[in-house]
C-alpha cells in the first residue's frame, strides 16, 4: 500500500509551512509582553464586548455575508456593499484572491521584505513566488518588478504601509504597475494608522484589476475576532465569492466590527496610542549609539541593531528573558540583527525601551 504522502499534491508537499509557533509560545507565557505580532495592545471597548455578548445569544444561527457591514465599509470608501467581500482576517482574503488568479505553475511577483504570508499562500496554491528585493532604503523596486512580469504572471503583491519596513508606496509607482493590467493586491492593512490617512482605493474605478485589502486587526484592535475585507470591482467580488468559503466570518465578529465602526472616538484613541508610541520608540532607539529605528507609518518599528553583532534570533531570546517578545527579521532579505517591535501602550513602550537599553549596555560590557 502506498503511503498517504504519495497522494498529497506536490505544491502542498513541497511548500514551506508558515510557522505560527511564536503565537502559541506567547499564549503559553502571558507574563511576557506581546510586542511581536503587530497586534493592537489596547483591549476591545465595552461597546464591542456588549455587541459580542448580544450576538452570542444568536450563536445557534448561521451568519450571512454581512450586508450591513459591507454597506458601511463600501460607502466609507466611496463604493457599495457589492464592492466588499469579508474575510476571516485578511489572511483569508490573501488566500482567496490567490485562489482566484493563481494556479499551479503561475507566477506571483512579491517584494521582499514584506508580509511573509503572501509567499506561503502562493506556494500552498501551487504558484511560483518571484521575489524582487527592495532597494537599500526599502523602497519597492518598481522597474525591476515590471521587468519581472512574464506571460505566467498572474498577480502582484504590494503593501503600503509595508510590513515590516513601515514605508509608503508613492502613487506614481503604483500607477506604473497598474498600467501593466496584471491583477494587483494592494494591502492597506495599516492604512488607518498613517500620520496622514492616504488610501489608493479611488484607483479601483480606473484600474478594476486592483483590489485593496484592509483589516480590523490593526487600528481597530480586533485581531482575535478575525475580520478583513477587500474592496474591489463588483465583477471581481463575484469571483471572490465563488472561491471563498461561505459563512467565513462569524456572527459575533460582524457584530463587533459594527460596534467598532459606530465608535469613531475609540478608533481615534487607538490611532493616537500608536502614532505617539511609534514616535517615542523611534526617538528613544535613535539615542542609542549605532542602533537605528526606521520611521514607520504602521503599528511597528523596524530596528537595525546590527552593531551589537548578535543575530536577530539571539536578540529575541535575550529580550524574552527581559519579559518582552519581539519579532526577529531573520527570514527576510534584511541585515543581521534586524528586528521589528510592535508599538504598545505608553507603559509597554517604556518597558521595551528600558529593557532594550539595558540589554545594549550588557552586550557592550560583554
Query: Which positions touch ligand PLP (CB under 6 A)?
Result: 38, 89-91, 115, 159, 163, 187, 189, 215, 217, 223, 228
User: Between residues 96 and 115, which has the closer beta carbon with respect to ligand PLP?
Assistant: 115
User: Between residues 153 and 215, which has the closer beta carbon with respect to ligand PLP?
Assistant: 215
Instruction: Show the CA angle centred on residue 100, arms to residues 94 and 105, nearest 5°.
Output: 95
User: Between residues 95 and 349, which has the closer beta carbon with respect to ligand PLP?
Assistant: 95
User: Between residues 170 and 181, which has the closer beta carbon with respect to ligand PLP?
Assistant: 170
User: Between residues 177 and 359, which has the closer beta carbon with respect to ligand PLP?
Assistant: 177
Residue 84 CB partners (closer than 8 Å, separation 6+): 70, 73, 74, 229, 230, 231, 237
Is residue 265 a contact partner of residue 103, using CB atoms and an 8 Å limit?
no
User: Between residues 74 and 166, which has the closer beta carbon with respect to ligand PLP?
Assistant: 166
Phi first, then psi: give them for residue 186, nearest 5 degrees: -105, 110
User: Between residues 110 and 178, which has the closer beta carbon with respect to ligand PLP?
Assistant: 110
User: Between residues 74 and 161, which has the closer beta carbon with respect to ligand PLP?
Assistant: 161
User: Between residues 89 and 252, which has the closer beta carbon with respect to ligand PLP?
Assistant: 89
Is residue 150 a contact partner of residue 108, using CB atoms and an 8 Å limit?
no
Which cell numbers in the block locate residue 79?
463604493
- How far apart, in Å, do the first and last CA atoms of the chain sit? 58
Task: Give just the sign of the alpha carbon dihedral 299, 305, 311, 315.
Answer: negative
Residue 115: CB minimum distance to ligand PLP, A? 4
Residue 276: CB minimum distance to ligand PLP, A? 21
| CB atoms near residue 74 (< 10 Å) | 19
Residue 212: CB minimum distance to ligand PLP, A? 12
Residue 130: CB minimum distance to ligand PLP, A? 19
Residue 363: CB minimum distance to ligand PLP, A? 29
Residue 187: CB minimum distance to ligand PLP, A? 5
Q: Of all residues in this chain, which one has the CB nearest to ligand PLP in the complex? A: 89
Residue 365: CB minimum distance to ligand PLP, A? 35
CA distances from 143 to 133, 185, 217 (A): 12, 18, 32
Residue 299: CB minimum distance to ligand PLP, A? 9
Residue 165: CB minimum distance to ligand PLP, A? 11
Amino acid at each position: 500500500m502506498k503511503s498517504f504522502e504519495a497522494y498529497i499534491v506536490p505544491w502542498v508537499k513541497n511548500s514551506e509551512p508558515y510557522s505560527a509557533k511564536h503565537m502559541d509560545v506567547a499564549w503559553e507565557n502571558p507574563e511576557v509582553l506581546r510586542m511581536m505580532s503587530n497586534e493592537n495592545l489596547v483591549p476591545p471597548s465595552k461597546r464591542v464586548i456588549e455587541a459580542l455578548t448580544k450576538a452570542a445569544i444568536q450563536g445557534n444561527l448561521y451568519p450571512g455575508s454581512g450586508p450591513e457591514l459591507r454597506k458601511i465599509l463600501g460607502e466609507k470608501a466611496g463604493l457599495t456593499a457589492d464592492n466588499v467581500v469579508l474575510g476571516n482576517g485578511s489572511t483569508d482574503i490573501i488566500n482567496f484572491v490567490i485562489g482566484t488568479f493563481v494556479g499551479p505553475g503561475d507566477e506571483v511577483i512579491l517584494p521582499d521584505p514584506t508580509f511573509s504570508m503572501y509567499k506561503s499562500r502562493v506556494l500552498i496554491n501551487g504558484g511560483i513566488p518571484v521575489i524582487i528585493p527592495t532597494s537599500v532604503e526599502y523602497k519597492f523596486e518598481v522597474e525591476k518588478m515590471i521587468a519581472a512580469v512574464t506571460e505566467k504572471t498572474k498577480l502582484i503583491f504590494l503593501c503600503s504601509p509595508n510590513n515590516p519596513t513601515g514605508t509608503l508606496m508613492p502613487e506614481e509607482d503604483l500607477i506604473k504597475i497598474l498600467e501593466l493590467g496584471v491583477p494587483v493586491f494592494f494591502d492597506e492593512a495599516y492604512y488607518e494608522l498613517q500620520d496622514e490617512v492616504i488610501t489608493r482605493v479611488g484607483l479601483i474605478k480606473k484600474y478594476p484589476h486592483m483590489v485593496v485589502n484592509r483589516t480590523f486587526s490593526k487600528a481597530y484592535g480586533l485581531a482575535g475576532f478575525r475580520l478583513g475585507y477587500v474592496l474591489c470591482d463588483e465583477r471581481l467580488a463575484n469571483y471572490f465569492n465563488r472561491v471563498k468559503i461561505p459563512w467565513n466570518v462569524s456572527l459575533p465578529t460582524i457584530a463587533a466590527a459594527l460596534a467598532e465602526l459606530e465608535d469613531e472616538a475609540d478608533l481615534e484613541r487607538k490611532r493616537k496610542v500608536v502614532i505617539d508610541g511609534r514616535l517615542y520608540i523611534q526617538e528613544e532607539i535613535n539615542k542609542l549609539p549605532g542602533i537605528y529605528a526606521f520611521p514607520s507609518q504602521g503599528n511597528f518599528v523596524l530596528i537595525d541593531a546590527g552593531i551589537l553583532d548578535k543575530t536577530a534570533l539571539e536578540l529575541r531570546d535575550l529580550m524574552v528573558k527581559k519579559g518582552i517578545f519581539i519579532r526577529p527579521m531573520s527570514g527576510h532579505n534584511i541585515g543581521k540583527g534586524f528586528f521589528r517591535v510592535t508599538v504598545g501602550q505608553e507603559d509597554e513602550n517604556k518597558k521595551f525601551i528600558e529593557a532594550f537599553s539595558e540589554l545594549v549596555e550588557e552586550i557592550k560590557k560583554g
